[in-house]
Structure 1
Amino acid sequence: MAIIWAIWILLQVLIGYNLYLPLILFTFYKPSKQILPPLAPEDDYAIIVTAYEQVESIPNVIASILKLNYTNFIVYIVADNCDVSGLSFEDEKVVVLRPPETLASNTRSHFYAIHNFKRSHTRLTIIDSDNLVEPEYLHELDRYFNAGFSAVQGVREAKNLNTTYACLDAARDIYYHFYDGKVLFGIGSSATLAGSGMAFTTQLYRNCLESRDITGAGFDKVLQSIIVGQNLRIAFTDKAIVYDEKTTHSDQLVKQRSRWINTWFKYFKFGFTLVFKGISNFSRNQFIFGFILLRPPLFIFLILSVICMLANIFISITAVFIWLIGLILFVLGFYIALAKSDTDKRIWQSLINIPKFIFYQVLSLLKVRRANKHSVATTHYYNTDSVENDKLKSDES
């Protein structure tokens, strides 16, 4: 009986600490006072844009990239399993690559671009086929590279807020950018990588992934664990802005989240390695980052927390109050993330639909075993010539 009781307490601790962790981290967070060096002469960037099966959004992506207030770059479009007959760009900075065989892998597409570089670029940044970039994107990345960092994660803001699902998806991103980006980096650890809107020295990227063939979702999880495993820090800047398309349909949400959940189950083990490395190396960077990698997706530990709280009604009223306090603190932490960010009022209004959003993520969990059978890329439905259209709607509402 004592063993069962000990296991029950341990299980609750492993689940419950996730409720308290955001505010604990925020308690130690202080806005960065790091003095970044002045901008040096432009470095040489490769901007890798990956597309799988769909190229409809590519012209808008390239149009935004060509508006960058930067001159020293080349854009490499890797159109994997795509019809490129409609892709034609007069600017010599744009190179269209169509692999002869289907790659069906982010990293394979990245290295196809790298192996076809027109020149030896010192830095590379990865952009998705549905992204748009702010004109100062590369300059803002430069500030952190020039400060000595070799990996930088920018912020992915919502390109569209045209449905409830898109708004809730954006709210989730704001939460993660705040705690897994700004706060983690601010307390001396590393920002988590987000799959796009991130940049590296070309040498670091090649050293980390060139010898690994990663299929399915999650290359960013492998990459960040290797970088932090070397005790390098991944910088975060909320001024290097990429606009990312948010999910607009329930079936789109389920398929996307099933891939992401599958990725967590596949790669969360890296967290244990980093925690132990952090202890042995006395590394705050590795230790804290390891705990972040062990954290399940939000909806999983929230559901488990509610189950544990209800179960304790028959076991310990004290434990019920501990769980209740934890849930309240988590909600407070979520509010802080949104309140300290430039959160659109449509996102605030959408929060009432969080139970529906969680329901569809539970459906995603049920389909997680078949996740890799889904397309390796999210199907895009949102169609706009620029992000300004959606901002205009926000201003008028």
Structure 2
Amino acid sequence: MDTLIWFLWYLVQIVVLFQLIFPVLLWALWLVFRRKHTLPNPAPNQIDYAVIVTAYEYTNTLAAAVESILKADYENYIVYIVADKCDTSNLVFNDSRILILTPPEILGSNTASHNYAVSKFIRKHDRLTIIDSDNLVHPQYFNELNLFSNELAIQGVRAAKNLNTTIACLDAARDMYYHFYDGQILYQLGSSATLSGSGMAFEVEFYTTFLKNNKVIGAGFDKVLQNYIVSRGIRIAFSANAIVYDEKTSKSDQLIKQRARWINTWFKYFKYGFSMAYNGITGLDRNQFLFGLILLRPPLFLFLIASVCFLLVNSWIDPLMAIVWLVGLLLFVTGFFISLFYGKANDKIYRSLINIPYFVYHQVISLLKSKSANKHSVATNHYHSQSIGTLKENNDEN
């Protein structure tokens, strides 16, 4: 029995330690193999886009989101605003390409809103792209997506729209970490970028087939969608320059509710990683194998807390293993700063890192509330409705 207990003790440590150093291992592989992958294949003509903008309860940022789309260096699109449970009396757009859709019944989910928008398409589009009501679209967003003309699924970058609080800065730092390792590196190593919920584009027929066959209730439609895509042997492309500016969480209560939903979806869907990794091994599919390993990874704060606990315990019972954990944590920290370097993080983000324990504390509170997360409203109230011009001025100041 003692032997079994010690075996399990070290097995759990090995699993957590692997997750801790996995990003740096990916980075090392990326440095060696990234040049072997082909460059994007640009479309010869403007692709026809359906731009689906989803809003639930709140519309205060919609005008700025639509303005940013209209100011994009692109013409061939129709914008479908799905205003679910929204007062649209103050929404007036003097452009025939903007359609406001008000569902007769409350939809209450992303996929339902997307389905409703698809049912109202006024013409046959080539692609659809999904934008949140708090997003701002970079002027070159559509042109950058068009560089991946042969791809069925593309994920862009959700850059920070606001860095007004410590929480917002730490949220932006977290996103840079995921964009680099789960986006750029994974894709350029022959796997797929993980989906982020918005700033993504799909071939219309492919996405509508997904909607018909998958009724996702509550949060996590992007988890189901990415499993649907990669399990079929299809890669999700990553476009580092197809940028939407996303409002980062700036208040502690907002952070707790949002993260509670996200943690809930990880526990609900991480099981996909087992079958994905297994199929990758048996089918010799690099895409599925690497992506499966990523799906099995818990939220950052969970394995960081576990790592510190293992370090402390081993400092009493196994000093050599404690040294291993110390090295592992240092490698993780190095990998985190590498992602910030490639993401060109500004000084405000670097200065905020001293408050990571405060951020982790709120994540722990979110964990405790995650079981009932889907009982909370799916709406997130947004506070920053600046235009692209104002955003550029603020970024220049930083």
Range into which the TM-score falls when normalised by the shorter chain: over 0.9
The offset of 1:327, in angstroms, is 0.4
**Letter paired with 2:82:** V
- Map 1:1-397; keep pairs closer than 5 Å: 1-30=2-31, 31-32=34-35, 34-144=38-148, 146=149, 148-384=150-386, 386-396=387-397
Bigger CA drift: 386-395 or 305-314?
Answer: 386-395
**Letter paired with 2:316:** F
Q: Secondary structure at the match of 2:83?
A: strand
**1:104-133 deviation per Cα after TM superposition (whole angstroms, max 9, x unaligned):** 100000010001111111210000000000
**1:345-388 deviation per Cα after TM superposition (whole angstroms, max 9, x unaligned):** 1111111111100111111011111100111132212242x244
Q: Secondary structure at the match of 2:144?
A: helix
**1:160-219 deviation per Cα after TM superposition (whole angstroms, max 9, x unaligned):** 111111100000000000000001011110000000000000111122232221111110
Q: Secondary structure at the match of 2:147?
A: helix
- Which blocks of at least 5 consecutive residues in structure 1 are unaligned? none
- 1:112 & 1:129 partners in 2: Cα distance? 16
The offset of 1:315, in angstroms, is 2.2
**Letter paired with 1:275:** A
- 1:278 & 1:125 partners in 2: Cα distance? 29
**Letter paired with 2:103:** P
- 2:385 & 2:214 partners in 1: Cα distance? 35
- 1:149 & 1:355 partners in 2: Cα distance? 40
**Letter paired with 1:18:** Q
TM-score by length of 1: 0.97
2:58–2:379 CA contact under 8 A, matched in 1: no
- 2:164 & 2:389 partners in 1: Cα distance? 13
**1:275-321 deviation per Cα after TM superposition (whole angstroms, max 9, x unaligned):** 01101211000000000000000000000111111111232111111
2:134–2:385 CA contact under 8 A, matched in 1: no
- 2:185 & 2:246 partners in 1: Cα distance? 21
- 2:119 & 2:391 partners in 1: Cα distance? 37
The offset of 1:142, in angstroms, is 1.0
The offset of 1:389, in angstroms, is 3.2
- 1:85 & 1:108 partners in 2: Cα distance? 22
Q: Secondary structure at the match of 2:40?
A: coil
**1:232-285 deviation per Cα after TM superposition (whole angstroms, max 9, x unaligned):** 000001110100000111000000000000010000000001001101211000
Bigger CA drift: 4-13 or 375-384?
Answer: 375-384
**Letter paired with 1:29:** W
Q: Secondary structure at the match of 2:240?
A: strand
Superposition CA RMSD, Å: 1.3
Query: In 2 relative to 1, CA 177–370 (structure 1 residues): closer, same or farther, beyond 3 Å?
Result: same
Query: In 2 relative to 1, CA 121–396 (structure 1 residues): closer, same or farther, beyond 3 Å?
Result: closer
Bigger CA drift: 329-338 or 273-282?
Answer: 273-282
- 2:392 & 2:4 partners in 1: Cα distance? 57
- Count of residues in correspondence between the two structures: 394
2:184–2:238 CA contact under 8 A, matched in 1: yes
Query: In 2 relative to 1, CA 219–38 (structure 1 residues): closer, same or farther, beyond 3 Å?
Result: closer
Q: Secondary structure at the match of 1:12?
A: helix
Q: Secondary structure at the match of 1:51?
A: strand
- 1:120 & 1:392 partners in 2: Cα distance? 38
- 2:184 & 2:81 partners in 1: Cα distance? 30
Bigger CA drift: 26-35 or 6-15?
Answer: 26-35
Q: Secondary structure at the match of 1:214?
A: coil
**Letter paired with 2:329:** L
Q: Secondary structure at the match of 2:186?
A: helix
Q: Secondary structure at the match of 2:128?
A: strand
- Which blocks of at least 5 consecutive residues in structure 2 are unaligned? none
- 1:321 & 1:163 partners in 2: Cα distance? 36
2:138–2:388 CA contact under 8 A, matched in 1: no
Q: Secondary structure at the match of 2:267?
A: helix
Q: Secondary structure at the match of 1:143?
A: coil
The offset of 1:43, in angstroms, is 1.4
**1:302-345 deviation per Cα after TM superposition (whole angstroms, max 9, x unaligned):** 00111111111232111111111100000000000001222111
- 2:257 & 2:143 partners in 1: Cα distance? 35
Bigger CA drift: 354-363 or 208-217?
Answer: 208-217
The offset of 1:391, in angstroms, is 4.4
1:209–1:223 CA contact under 8 A, matched in 2: no
